[in-house]
Amino acid sequence: MDVFLARQPIFDSEQRVSAYEILYRSGLVNNFDGIDGDEASREVIFNTFQTFGIENLTNAKPVFINFTESLINDETATLFSKDLLVVEILEDVLPSEQVIENSRSLKEMGYKIALDDFIYKPEYEELIELADIVKIDFLLSDKEEIKRLSRDLKNRNIELLAEKVETREDFEYAKKLGFSLFQGFFFSKPEIVISKKIQPIKTTCLQLVSKVNEKEIDFGKIANIVSMDLSLTYNLLKLVNSAAFGFRYRIKSVKHAVVALGEREIKKWIYLVVVNTIGEDEPDELTRLSLIRARFAELIAINTRYKKQSEEMFLLGLFSLLDVILRRPIREVLDEVKASNVIKDALIDGNGEIGIIYKMIIAYEKAEWDEVLLYAESLDIDCYLIVKAYMDALLWYNKLVG
C-alpha cells in the first residue's frame, strides 16, 4: 500500500529550518478523497512517526501536525515525544470545556500548542492563553489586520508564525512586526536581493567544478587543486579509504585517489563538496534541499527516457539553489562553473529537454499533485516510482550526513 505525506519547512528569522509541518495526502492528487479530518490527522501522525520515521522525514526536527477536536480529547498526542510534536489546533475546533482542559493538560506535560489560521474571537481567550505559537495566514489577512493581531498578541508570551509567506516583502514585514517563525513558498523560490563575494575556499571548489565539466577531464589538474587545500585533501583520502569503497589497498596520494575514484565518482564527490562548502554560512535547509533534489532528479532520470543523462540531472538538482546560496543571478553562477546549456535552459527558464523533470521536482516539493501527475504522464513514469525516488533521496541524504 502506498502512503503519501506532504511536508513544508518552518524557518526562524535567520532562515534556519526550525521544524516542519506534515500534511495528509491520499496520493498524487491534491485532495482528500472525502476523508474526514479525524482520519486524516490520525494517518499523518502514524505515518510520520511509524511508517516513514521522523528521522527520515524531518531529520529528527519537530513536526507541526493538525489536531481535530477528537484527537485533542482522546489524548493521541501523548503517544509521542513532546520534543518532536507540536499540537496544531485547527481553526474550526470549538473551545469547549473538554478541549480547554485537555489542551491545558498537554501544555503541563510539556507539549507545545499552536493555533492554526488564527482570527481573534473573544470566546477563544482561554485557548489563546494556553497557546505557545499562533499562526497567521499572510494570504487571507491584509497588512492592517496582521499588524493589529501581532500587536495584541506580542505581550502574551506567544511566538508568532507567519504562514503562506510568498515574497521577501512578506518575510521582511513579518520580521518587522515581531514574527519569529515563517512558512511558505518564499523559501522554495527565493528572491535574489544582494551579491555575495565567494571566499577563497569557495573559489577553489568552483575551480574544481569547472575542471570536471571540461570535455576531457585532466585528473592531474584536479589532484593539484585538491592538494592545495587541507580540508579537501583530508576528506578525499578519508572517503576513498573508507569501507564504503572497499579498496583492497590503502590510497595515500590525492592523485591516486582521484584516479581510483574515476570520472563518475570524482564528479559526484566534487559536486557534493561544492554545495556543502559554499552553503556553510547559509540556512542548512538550502544545502540539504539541493542535495535531496540532486539525488531525486538522478533517480527520476534513471526511470525515464533520460537514463543516460542521470549524471547531468544530479548536477541540475545540486545547482538549483546556487543563486540563493550565493545571492547572485543564476545565469552568472552557471557560467562560472561552466554548466552545460541543457542545465542552463532548465534552471534559468524551465525549458529544454530536461526542464520537465526540474518542473516536476518543484511541483512535488510544493505538493502540487495535479501538476506532478501531468509531468509524470509526459515522462511516462509511474507515480509509485516518483514517490519511491523521493523517499530514497531522503534516505540517501541521511546516510550521507549521518
pLDDT digits (tens, 9 = 90+) for 239-285: 676 543 556 666 757 788 888 878 877 876 777 666 655 555 544 57
Listed residue (154, 199, 198) closest to 176, CA to CA:
154
* Alpha carbon distances (Å) from 288 to 174, 280, 321: 25, 11, 10
Question: What average pLDDT does the chain have?
Answer: 78
200-401 folds as Hypothetical protein af1432 (1.10.3210)
CB 85 within 8 A of CB 111: yes
In the chain, ranges of CATH 1.10.3210 domains: 200-401
Q: Please tell me the class of the 4-187 domain.
A: alpha beta
194 DSSP 8-state letter: -
In the chain, ranges of CATH 3.20.20.450 domains: 4-187
* Claim: this prediction has a pTM higher than 0.75: no
pLDDT tens figures, 130-174: 889 989 888 887 888 888 888 888 778 889 998 888 888 888 888
Reading phi first (left if > 0) and then psi (alpha if -120 to 50, else beta), residue 59 is in left
CB atoms within 10 A of CB 360: 24
CB 99 within 8 A of CB 93: yes
**Structure confidence at residue 197 (pLDDT):** 28
**Phi and psi (nearest 5°) for 140?**
-85, -20
Q: Give the bridge partners for 115, in sequence order.
A: 89, 134
Tell me what percent of the residues of the chain surpass a pLDDT of 70.
Answer: 77
Q: Is residue 212 scored above 70 in pLDDT? A: yes
